[in-house]
Protein backbone atom coordinates (compact mmCIF):
# COMPACT_ATOMS: atom_id res chain seq x y z
CA UNK A 1 0.00 0.00 0.00
CA UNK A 2 1.34 3.39 -1.00
CA UNK A 3 1.71 6.03 1.71
CA UNK A 4 0.36 9.54 1.33
CA UNK A 5 1.95 12.80 2.53
CA UNK A 6 0.29 12.59 5.95
CA UNK A 7 1.55 9.04 6.49
CA UNK A 8 5.10 10.05 5.59
CA UNK A 9 5.03 13.16 7.80
CA UNK A 10 3.73 11.12 10.73
CA UNK A 11 6.45 8.48 10.20
CA UNK A 12 9.20 11.11 10.15
CA UNK A 13 7.86 12.88 13.22
CA UNK A 14 7.56 9.57 15.07
CA UNK A 15 11.19 8.67 14.30
CA UNK A 16 12.39 12.11 15.42
CA UNK A 17 10.49 12.19 18.74
CA UNK A 18 13.64 11.64 20.77
CA UNK A 19 16.00 13.14 18.20
CA UNK A 20 17.33 11.55 15.04
CA UNK A 21 19.91 12.16 12.34
CA UNK A 22 18.81 12.32 8.72
CA UNK A 23 20.28 8.87 8.01
CA UNK A 24 18.27 7.35 10.85
CA UNK A 25 15.09 8.99 9.54
CA UNK A 26 15.78 7.69 6.03
CA UNK A 27 16.10 4.10 7.20
CA UNK A 28 13.40 4.09 9.89
CA UNK A 29 10.81 5.84 7.69
CA UNK A 30 11.83 3.74 4.66
CA UNK A 31 12.47 6.72 2.37
CA UNK A 32 15.32 7.98 0.23
CA UNK A 33 17.48 11.02 1.01
CA UNK A 34 15.89 13.27 -1.62
CA UNK A 35 12.37 12.60 -0.37
CA UNK A 36 13.42 13.04 3.28
CA UNK A 37 15.07 16.37 2.51
CA UNK A 38 11.81 17.70 1.02
CA UNK A 39 9.74 16.55 3.99
CA UNK A 40 12.25 17.79 6.59
CA UNK A 41 12.13 21.26 5.05
CA UNK A 42 8.33 21.20 5.03
CA UNK A 43 8.06 20.01 8.64
CA UNK A 44 10.61 22.56 9.86
CA UNK A 45 8.89 25.43 8.05
CA UNK A 46 5.55 24.38 9.59
CA UNK A 47 7.05 24.29 13.09
CA UNK A 48 6.61 20.55 13.60
CA UNK A 49 10.32 19.71 13.55
CA UNK A 50 13.42 21.44 14.89
CA UNK A 51 17.05 20.92 13.99
CA UNK A 52 20.23 21.81 15.83
CA UNK A 53 22.61 24.52 14.62
CA UNK A 54 24.44 22.16 12.29
CA UNK A 55 21.18 20.74 10.94
CA UNK A 56 22.28 17.22 11.81
CA UNK A 57 19.86 16.29 14.59
CA UNK A 58 16.12 16.60 14.12
CA UNK A 59 13.61 16.65 16.98
CA UNK A 60 9.82 16.65 16.85
CA UNK A 61 8.32 19.80 18.39
CA UNK A 62 5.22 20.06 20.58
CA UNK A 63 3.27 20.99 17.47
CA UNK A 64 4.62 17.88 15.74
CA UNK A 65 3.60 15.70 18.67
CA UNK A 66 0.10 17.16 18.42
CA UNK A 67 0.06 16.27 14.73
CA UNK A 68 1.00 12.66 15.53
CA UNK A 69 -1.85 12.42 18.06
CA UNK A 70 -4.39 13.85 15.63
CA UNK A 71 -3.11 11.65 12.82
CA UNK A 72 -3.45 8.52 14.95
CA UNK A 73 -6.98 9.50 16.00
CA UNK A 74 -7.89 10.01 12.36
CA UNK A 75 -6.51 6.74 11.01
CA UNK A 76 -7.18 4.42 13.96
CA UNK A 77 -10.87 3.75 13.12
CA UNK A 78 -9.76 2.68 9.64
CA UNK A 79 -7.03 0.32 10.81
CA UNK A 80 -9.09 -1.72 13.29
CA UNK A 81 -10.39 -4.04 10.60
CA UNK A 82 -13.64 -2.93 9.17
CA UNK A 83 -15.08 -0.22 7.05
CA UNK A 84 -16.93 2.25 9.26
CA UNK A 85 -18.75 3.74 6.26
CA UNK A 86 -20.80 0.53 5.90
CA UNK A 87 -22.11 0.53 9.46
CA UNK A 88 -25.81 1.00 9.96
CA UNK A 89 -26.75 0.13 6.40
Instruction: Assign residue 17 the CATH number of its domain.
Output: 1.10.10.10
Residue 85 domain-assigned (yes or no): no
pLDDT at position 70: 95
What pLDDT score does 79 carry?
Answer: 64
Count the neighbouring beta carbons within 10 Å of the beta carbon of residue 64: 25
- Asked if the structure places residue 34 within a domain, the reply is yes
Residue 63's Cβ-count burial label (10 Å; 0-12, 13-18, 19+) is: middle
Domain that holds residue 11: 5-75
What are the E-state strand segments in 1-89? Answer: 20-21, 49-51, 57-60
pLDDT digits (tens, 9 = 90+) for 25-84: 999 999 999 999 999 999 999 999 999 878 789 999 999 999 999 999 998 876 655 554
Question: Considering the domain boundaries, does residue 83 fall inside one?
Answer: no
10 domain residue, yes or no? yes
Number of structural domains in the chain: 1
Amino acid sequence: MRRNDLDICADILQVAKSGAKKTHIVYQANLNFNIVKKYLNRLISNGMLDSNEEGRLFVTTTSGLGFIEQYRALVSPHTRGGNSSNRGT
